[in-house]
Amino acid sequence: MDYKYNLLKKKIDRRSFVLIFFKFSLISIIVVKNFFLQLLNQEKYSNLSENNRIKFTLLPSLRGEIFDKFSQGLALNSDRFNLALINRDLSQLRAEILLIKKIFKWNDDFCTKILSEIKKIPKYGQKIIKSNISWEHVSFLEENKELLVNFFIDIENARIYPYEKFLFHTVGYLQRGFQDQYSQNLKNINIGKFGLEKFYHNQLKGVDGYKKIEKDAFGKLNKVIKISNIIKGSDIFTNLDAKLQKDFFDLIPDMSGSVVVNECSTGNILSMISFPSFDPHSMVNLSHKEWSNINSDPEHPLLNKSVQSSYPPGSVFKIVTMLAALESGISIDQKFECKGFIWIGGRRFGCAKKSGHGLINMSEALQFSCNCYMYNIAKIIGHQKILDAAQELGLGKKTGIDLPDEKEGFLPSVEWKYKKFGQKWMLGDSLNLAIGQGFTLVTPIQLSMLISAIANGGFLYQPNIAKRTIKSRQLGFSLDNLKLVKDALYKAINEIGGTGYYRSRFNFNSMTMSGKTGTAQLIQKKSLEEDFDDLKNTEHKKRNHSIFVGFAPSSEPKFSVSLYCSNMGSGSRFAAPLARSIMLRLLKKYFSIL
């Protein structure tokens, strides 16, 4: 009996020991865990708890506004009302949708989408479901706000562009960068995407504020702890004349290209137009398909062609070649005979006048736009002196205009050609260079500053859209030579035989315009009979580019203009008469003010 009793007692003692050990182990684990939680990781978990309780809401600053030279608003701020969804009480949502679906004209699919969408939103989280609602909708929501606990009106600052498509490429637009779409902060960040909005984004954006709030365990607002002040962005005042730009816009037919109008003696831009254009308001909330269609458009409507596109300069480049010749010591009276073409290395290099201009001097060569004369200059002085003159006039490098993504254009070189094609520089390359064909590329804004430098007596300005410090440098050309070129540009428009005489000449209150037409040939002719200026019978992509640069009044230049019209034929046929209309409107406005 004692034996059995002792055996049972041993078993009980063993079980008790196991139970006691197990309890002790559990208590030890809890104690150690509690130690780590409360002591070693106290700061970590305290911060997590604080982050769940305390939230920061971004308060976007009010963006600076943009104005023209007469204080006309170009980019302004305005309140916009949006319909927002808030996850407050899902049991009432279906009834609320039935109440408002009729006035908002929602179909059943959209209502189903709302029911699905709200399930993704955390408690008291918010999401905009319809932007820019009408006053009628706002009034309805206000009148019924006691019944619509899951809907509310979100007010945001919107950007308004009063001149719409007329200043799209210059003023630009904003891209909306939302934070977490299901966060309790509906406010968005506006980012300058294009034009002045992008270039001056840091000045325009201001300083954002924030609201520090406390929430309860259910995510509901308990109290506002702190609100920091926002600082409005700086306004930008420009040199643009918005009303005049709109007038110019109406003069220009459907085309792809650009127009730049500026003051000769400051570089200040009065007007900058790029075609085709857009209403910037349409750039908000584009679908993927709409965005793809715009990007794939062969006319590249999103490019500001005045600064972001480069083209062959055509005969406008003869201004550069003439200056290079004069600076190299060739006399203005030097004569060469033009027979309509010359032969170099078994290749025919033609002139615009097939029958030839006869024996002419340098001034007449620019006036008549004679290719053969320029060929002779290239043979005498070589390509490098022409390129040096082009660089001095600002070609092949950025002008420094206050717009984003400016192109440099391109000036070729011996080294570049060998690296690119594995070929030596040939005399034919120099001949093409002299008349603005071949490899050279320029931007319309470069041409504007070039012609302004000729007009103002040799100062190359940095172009300015906004009012900022005027910068310039004096060109290293003889003033006498600059005047000879300027006089030849007068003859090109105002004397018989000039390429702009019949279509761009005018006399307004004894004021005239000087300038140079240009035609950039895109495709090598297969025969002398081919005419790429024949718009009716020539495929669009094969048509010549039409170019014009000029200034007025000729005697005391105040304004310069440059036009680059893609695939519109010769400069004298299209760009020159358009420049005449633009300059006349400009003179009539400003000389009636002065």
* pLDDT over 50 at 132, yes or no: yes
Average pLDDT over residues 299-313: 94
* pLDDT over 90 at 107, yes or no: no
User: What pLDDT score was predicted for residue 221?
Assistant: 58
Give the residue with greater pLDDT, 349 vs 215: 349
User: What pLDDT score was predicted for residue 179?
Assistant: 43
Tokens 């003859």 map to which residue?
A: 491
pLDDT band at 526 (very low <50, low <70, confident <90, very high): very low
User: What pLDDT score was predicted for residue 186?
Assistant: 43
* Range with the largest mean pLDDT of 4-13, 288-297, 508-517: 508-517
The model's pTM: 0.83
**In whole angstroms, what separates CA 101 from the centre of its chain?**
40
pLDDT band at 530 (very low <50, low <70, confident <90, very high): very low
Q: Are 199 and 402 in contact (CB under 8 A)?
A: yes
DSSP-derived 3-state class of residue 386: helix
DSSP-derived 3-state class of residue 548: strand
Phi, psi for 80 (deg, rounded to 5)? -130, 140
State how far the Cα of 231 lies from the Cα of 87, in Å rounded to an integer.
Answer: 32
Average pLDDT over residues 71-99: 87
User: What pLDDT score was predicted for residue 594?
Assistant: 47
* pLDDT over 80 at 361, yes or no: yes
For residue 271, give the amino acid letter.
S
pLDDT (tens digit per residue) in 370-379: 999 999 999 9
* pLDDT over 70 at 505, yes or no: yes
Q: Are 486 and 332 in contact (CB under 8 A)?
A: no
Helix and strand tally (H, E) in the chain?
19, 21
Q: Which residues contact 576 (CB under 8 A, 6 or more apart)?
A: 499, 500, 503, 504, 515, 517, 548
Tell me which architecture the domain covering 57-235 has in CATH.
Answer: Alpha-Beta Complex (3.90)
End-to-end Cα separation, the chain, in angstroms: 133
* pLDDT over 60 at 535, yes or no: no
How is the chain split into domains, by residue range? Answer: 57-235, 242-276+306-593
* Range with the largest mean pLDDT of 123-127, 431-435, 538-542: 431-435
State how far the Cα of 324 lies from the Cα of 383, in Å rounded to an integer.
Answer: 10
- Cα distances from 290 to residues 39, 195, 282, 283, in angstroms, run 58, 21, 10, 9
pLDDT band at 299 (very low <50, low <70, confident <90, very high): confident
List the structure tokens of 344: 């170099």
Give the residue with greater pLDDT, 24 vs 500: 500
- Cα distances from 119 to residues 76, 87, 111, 497, in angstroms, run 37, 8, 13, 78
User: What pLDDT score was predicted for residue 431?
Assistant: 97
pLDDT band at 12 (very low <50, low <70, confident <90, very high): low
The CATH class for the domain spanning 242-276+306-593 reads: alpha beta
* pLDDT over 70 at 550, yes or no: yes
